[in-house]
Amino acid sequence: MAPTEQLPIIELEPRHLDGALLLSEEAHWNQLEADWRMMMAAGTAFGMEEPDGRLVSTALTLPHGDEFGWVSMVLVTSDWRKKGLATRLLKTCIDTLESAGLVPVLDATADGENVYRPLGFAPHFGIKRWQHDAVETINVKARACSAIDVDEIYRQDADIFGGDRPIVLDSLMARSASFSCMENGYLLGRDGRVASQIGPIYAENSDSALAMLDHALSNLKGRVYIDAGDHQAALESRLMEYGFDVQRPFMRMGKGRAEHFGDLSKMFAMAGPELG
């Protein structure tokens, strides 16, 4: 094993996709190759590899417009952990975003929150990942929702999320065509390695958010993840009613900025901690 300081930070290329996917699988995360391709196209992926070419760590920056950008996919393989690789990559991501005039934002796990606070990250709001192992067993009586309007999705997302992320949205729209919908807002999602993910769910009110949720659940089978905002009590109540349970919490955090971006009142579920 080479000394840690001898592993240079490199920008990842398509040839690194297999190694990146192995790292997310090792961490038991939900990403597919399509996620890695989308994120590498939308932002800049960094990593470190051993002299033999084995990818041992990754991190990503995803600029979302001209105000903020995401720090994403900080991963280190098991035999290289606790050697400072994640810290070096994290600092590279922060420097990359701040050099572009963007506020670094991320969704931190409970353990990660303790790492990010000393670096100047302030909490915005809490999120919980809810999961259900077999949503086809839920008795859902869904009403019809409107079909996706691409331009309207772009407009609403910019207003509610607070940034521009067309590559991310294009990928989500393509991958959730069987269950996405619009009703005073929109719902998208994606297939995953271990579960389908519903999100974002952005809506003018909870009735619309719940109607879109029911539409999506009625068109899905198997395991489902939903990353719901702690501030949306009606959505949490519906998920509990349907038998979802909490897998883990996240905290949305921004470096040097305590207030959140976008319109929090209309954010019901998020696209995932790697996307925002």
Tokens of 59: 């991190």
Task: Kindly report, as residue ranges, where domains of CATH 3.40.630.30 are found in the chain.
Answer: 4-124
Query: What is the maximal distance between C-alpha atoms in the chain?
Result: 59
Cβ proximity of 164 and 174 under 8 Å: no
- Kindly report the length of the chain: 276
Question: Cα(101)–Cα(96) distance, rounded to whole angstroms?
Answer: 9
Half-sphere exposure in the Cβ direction for 113 (13 Å, CA): 15
Task: Kindly report, as residue ranges, where domains of CATH 3.40.630.90 are found in the chain.
Answer: 127-270
**Rounded to 10 degrees, what is the CA torsion of 90, 93, 96, 102?**
-110
Q: Which amino acid is at 202?
A: Y
What is the number of other CB atoms lying within 10 angstroms of the CB of residue 220?
22
Predicted local distance difference test score (pLDDT) of residue 4: 54
Cβ proximity of 267 and 157 under 8 Å: no
Q: Which CATH number fits domain 127-270: 3.40.630.90, 2.60.40.1120, 3.40.1010.10, 3.40.50.1110?
A: 3.40.630.90
Predicted local distance difference test score (pLDDT) of residue 115: 87
User: How would you write the pLDDT of the chain (276 residues) with one tens digit per residue?
Assistant: 455 567 999 999 999 999 999 999 999 999 999 999 999 999 999 999 999 999 999 999 999 999 999 999 999 999 999 999 999 999 999 999 999 999 999 999 988 888 899 999 999 999 999 999 999 999 998 888 888 999 999 999 999 999 999 999 999 999 999 999 999 999 999 999 999 999 999 999 999 999 999 999 999 999 999 999 999 999 999 999 999 999 999 999 999 987 889 999 999 999 999 999
Which run of H or of E encompasses 168? helix 166-175
Rg (CA), the chain: 18
Q: Which CATH number fits domain 4-124: 3.40.630.30, 3.10.450.50, 3.40.50.10860, 3.20.20.80?
A: 3.40.630.30
Cβ proximity of 212 and 181 under 8 Å: yes
Predicted local distance difference test score (pLDDT) of residue 143: 83
Predicted local distance difference test score (pLDDT) of residue 141: 86
Question: Cα(53)–Cα(43) distance, rounded to whole angstroms?
Answer: 22
